[in-house]
Amino acid sequence: MPVNLPVPDPASLHPVAGVRLGIASAGIKKPGRRDITLIELAAGSKVAGVFTQNRFCAAPVTVCKQHLQNGDIRALAINTGNANAGSGEEGIRRAMQTCAAVAEMFAIKPEQVLPFSTGVILEPLPIDKILPALPDAKADLAPDHWSEAAHAIMTTDVVAKAASALAKIGGKTVTVTGIAKGSGMIHPNMATMLGYVATDAAVSQAVLNQLVKEVAEISFNCVTVDGDTSTNDSFILIATGQSGNAEIDDAASADCAALKAALSGVSIKLAQAMARDGEGATKFMTVQVEKGRDRAECKQVAYAIARSPLVKTAFFASDPNLGRILAAIGYAGVADLDVDNIQVYLGNVLVAEKGGRAASYTEAQGAAVMKEAEITIRVVLNRGRAEATVWTCDFSYDYVKINAEYRT
């Protein structure tokens, strides 16, 4: 079961002025499954995105990048059950067919539509199922269908992922609401999953382009489940401009800082939800690396720990075999790391210092912390002022079962 991850209350998700969402069933993988989502955006909305750096990127990722260069995006189309990845030129053609069909329904151009797919790789996109379902999704459009959309984009997720926040910007109340999916094949090389965060704030395109990268870096780029970067990762930031605030065109302004805080807060909740709902997860783990020379080396060490199968299986077993953490720090790739200066904590318990086991540490202390559902690993490098935090989960028997049976 997901670790301390409640089902989001639909009433807690604030509608975003200028955004409507509609859901439908195409039966792509399972009959009756609601697996199609349409998101309609008001005219004048700004959209920015970051995508997977996997070289085998999916056809919809390629199309999205092209369409975002044109600007003036008015609709998003999302399907689950099929990734449309490893599909060659035919995959591009089918993604464009989806865009064309959505464009016809909304009387817009195909390049004003962004397509997204998630599911099984190396199988043709069943366009014959998707196209007939699109009118039903359009008929279902409503501003308060965030919860329904969060459920419709799930694959192996157990719990839908959605979050919302309000902020005061320029004397106006600004809304931020987002949804995401992700439970396995989660490791950042951009942002790891499908994520959509919308705000009614007015933001210039240049600032939004900067914000999407900065927000991804401190949220979706800080989560790993299994070390596998998906072919379809996409994080989209939408600003409809309908809150009435003066347009934010200065990335260094107080208004931009307030908006970034709200966007980051929602995105961090969504990112953490992925680790809490990691396939087969029983533990939610926070890895904090402090006092590094720069953020990059702190993340390098944090990810070495967070993606280690040996560390993750030890946490599943509640076994304080903590030498595995030291090994991960050592092979993280920081060439001039002085291990004699490093301190390692499990929760508030000092485990290692001066190159070895802390004199005060007892295995009973470690075992007590390991039994908790939420655990923090803290590594103090003592070589600078930088820090980084990564979220992950353990590896259980169910992780193997879920992925072994993924297509059955």
**Would residue 224 show up in a list of annotated catalytic residues for this protein?**
no
Residue 14 located in a structural domain: yes
| Same domain, yes or no: 350 and 266 | no
Closest CA to 85 of 105, 55, 111: 55
pLDDT at 337: 93
CATH code of the domain in which 203 resides: 3.60.70.12
pLDDT at 191: 44
Domain count, the chain: 2
| Same domain, yes or no: 75 and 91 | yes
Q: Which amino acid belongs to residue 331?
A: Y
- What are the strands, taking DSSP E only, across 26-153? 34-41, 46-51, 75-82, 113-120
Residue 5 located in a structural domain: no
Q: CA 162, 407, 191, 342 torsion: positive or negative?
A: positive
Residue 215 located in a structural domain: yes
Residue 3 located in a structural domain: no
Which of 276, 305, 338 delimits the end of a domain?
Answer: 276
pLDDT at 7: 83
What does DSSP say about strands 234-239 and 284-292: parallel, antiparallel, or unpaired? unpaired
What does DSSP say about strands 172-181 and 46-51: parallel, antiparallel, or unpaired? unpaired
Residue 315 located in a structural domain: yes
| Same domain, yes or no: 190 and 301 | no
Residue 350 located in a structural domain: yes
| Same domain, yes or no: 20 and 161 | yes
| Same domain, yes or no: 34 and 176 | yes
Q: Which residue in the list 37, 52, 118, 192 is annotated as catalytic?
A: 192
| Same domain, yes or no: 192 and 341 | no
Q: Looking up tokens 């065109």, which residue turns up?
A: 249
Print the domain residue range for 239: 10-276
| Tens of each residue's pLDDT in the chain, 408 residues | 688 888 888 889 999 999 999 999 999 988 888 999 999 999 999 999 998 877 778 999 999 999 999 889 999 999 999 999 988 999 999 999 999 999 999 999 999 999 999 888 889 999 999 999 999 999 999 999 999 999 999 887 888 999 999 999 989 999 999 999 876 555 565 444 789 999 999 999 999 999 999 999 999 888 887 655 667 778 999 999 999 999 999 999 999 999 999 999 999 999 999 888 877 788 999 999 999 999 999 999 999 999 899 999 999 999 898 999 999 999 999 989 999 999 999 999 999 999 999 999 999 999 999 999 999 999 999 999 999 999 998 888 877 776 676 566
CATH code of the domain in which 354 resides: 3.10.20.340
Which of 241, 276, 311 delimits the end of a domain?
Answer: 276
pLDDT at 106: 98
| Same domain, yes or no: 248 and 289 | no
| Same domain, yes or no: 66 and 123 | yes
**Distance of CA 119 to CAs 9, 136, 282, 352, Å?**
26, 21, 24, 42
| Same domain, yes or no: 230 and 315 | no
pLDDT at 183: 64
DSSP 377-401: EEEE--SSSEEEEEEEE---HHHHH
| Same domain, yes or no: 185 and 245 | yes
Which of 251, 276, 301 delimits the end of a domain?
Answer: 276
Residue 98 located in a structural domain: yes
Q: Looking up tokens 């077993």, which residue turns up?
A: 317
Half-sphere exposure (Cβ direction) of 191: Cα atoms closer than 13 Å: 30
Q: Looking up tokens 């790891």, which residue turns up?
A: 192
| Same domain, yes or no: 122 and 143 | yes
Judge contact between 295 and 14, C-beta under 8 A.
Answer: no
DSSP-based three-state secondary structure for 267: helix
| Same domain, yes or no: 390 and 333 | yes
pLDDT at 264: 97
Residue 2 located in a structural domain: no
